[in-house]
């Protein structure tokens, strides 16, 4: 006892772990966990933090739905605004807390939607509210705005062409013609996509009002637009090995594809085949790979008269044998990898 205060010997975490007869690593993790929780509490307020803590404690009884320390760490690293958004959704849907965090965290820093269908509406309303616009207007902005920012191709056109010295009979002439064709096709699909989306939002207030034919038209234009965006990226990298696509391009590419997933998810399987015909390869069994028959079996299982919904599109892309959709999905994964690297310092590869 000193000056009326109880004094204790200062101990390291390792010494405390020994006293408590627990592993030193467990002790360190426990201390960090408390620090993460404190960061979250400072951002969301004590009252909301207590409700969240009660939800976390309750879910500990269910190993499958238990929120891990790593998830708490990831949550503590996003902005205060994003923490409040995620915690508010968790309080509304406590039974899905783990999935909410898993789906929300990767997208927080790129300002896109939570992918679980039950929470999309809540998330979009929050995003729209931040921008002082209606949810419908926000979706329109997402569909229209992201695509325009992906590649300023005309600004790079001269730099691409300047890499070639074109003379009569020069072998680079054919290469230049091929590049010119790629750029022109990109510009055509870019214009077609944005004109189509603009006309749809002028005609309707909600995606729910779009017909199957209109959904198919937007999906076809969007996928082909992304295909040529990916082609331009490959050409840039081939012409200049040190070229790295700017992060903002990958970010906006991801947002655009994410919006297109919402369109594709509304199209019935039998109509999807019309705009994206299945590749005519029939010997998958021989080589142990996917083919026409595999894709048809997947589509029939899901129901040709059914649509898979926004959250079923990504899985469908892996089973759907179509070259354009394959390139579309690969570019989506490269965008996702770039955003993950921006946050964590490491890519998927």
Give the pLDDT confidence of 142-155 residue by residue, as tens digits: 555 444 444 444 44
- Close Cβ partners of 86 (under 8 Å, ≥ 6 residues apart): 75, 78, 100, 101, 104, 105, 108
pTM, entire model: 0.57
User: b/e map of 164-181 (b: 16 or more CB within 10 Å)?
Assistant: eeeeeeeeeeeebeebee
Chain segment 291-319, per-residue pLDDT in tens:
999 999 999 999 999 999 988 999 999 89
DSSP for 36-66, please give it: HHHHHHHHH-HHHHHHHHHHHHHHTT-TTTP
DSSP for 79-133, please give it: -HHHHHHHHHHHHHSGGGHHHHHHHHGGGGGGT----SHHHHHHHHHHHHHHTTS
Distance CA 71, CA 74 (A): 5
Question: Which contiguous run of DSSP H or E holds residue 2?
Answer: none
Chain segment 212-265, per-residue pLDDT in tens:
999 999 999 999 999 998 888 888 787 777 878 888 888 888 888 988 999 999
CA 150 to chain centre: 15
pLDDT over 90 for what percent of the chain? 22
Q: Is the pLDDT assigned to residue 129 strictly greater than 90?
A: no
- pLDDT value for 185: 87
């Amino acid at each position: 006892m000193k000056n009326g205060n109880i004094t204790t010997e200062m101990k390291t975490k390792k010494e405390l772990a020994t006293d408590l007869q627990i592993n030193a690593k467990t002790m360190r993790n426990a201390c960090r966990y408390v620090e993460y929780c404190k960061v979250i509490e400072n951002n969301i307020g004590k009252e909301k933090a207590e409700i969240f803590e009660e939800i976390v404690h309750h879910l500990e009884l269910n190993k499958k739905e238990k929120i891990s320390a790593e998830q708490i760490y990831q949550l503590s690293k996003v902005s205060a605004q994003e923490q409040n958004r995620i915690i508010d959704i968790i309080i509304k849907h406590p039974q899905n807390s783990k999935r909410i965090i898993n789906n929300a965290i990767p997208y927080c820093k790129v300002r896109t939607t939570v992918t679980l269908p039950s929470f999309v509406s809540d998330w979009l309303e929050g995003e729209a509210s931040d921008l002082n616009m209606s949810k419908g207007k926000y979706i329109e902005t997402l569909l229209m705005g992201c695509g325009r920012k992906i590649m300023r191709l005309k600004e790079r056109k001269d730099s691409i062409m300047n890499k070639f010295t074109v003379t009569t009979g020069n072998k680079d002439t054919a290469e230049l013609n091929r590049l010119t064709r790629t750029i022109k096709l990109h510009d055509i699909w870019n214009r077609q996509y944005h004109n189509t989306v603009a006309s749809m939002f002028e005609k309707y207030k909600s995606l729910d009002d779009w017909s199957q034919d209109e959904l198919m038209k937007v999906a076809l234009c969007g996928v082909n637009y992304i295909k040529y965006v990916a082609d331009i990226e490959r050409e840039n990298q081939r012409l200049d090995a040190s070229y790295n696509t700017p992060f903002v391009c990958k970010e906006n590419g991801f947002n655009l594809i994410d919006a297109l997933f919402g369109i594709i998810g509304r199209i019935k399987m039998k109509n999807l085949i019309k705009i994206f015909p299945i590749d005519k390869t029939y010997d998958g069994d021989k080589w142990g790979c996917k083919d026409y028959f595999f894709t048809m079996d997947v589509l029939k299982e899901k129901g040709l008269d059914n649509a898979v919904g926004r959250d079923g599109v990504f899985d469908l892309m892996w089973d759907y044998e179509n070259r354009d959709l394959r390139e579309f999905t690969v570019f989506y994964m490269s965008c996702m990898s770039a955003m993950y690297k921006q946050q964590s310092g490491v890519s998927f590869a």
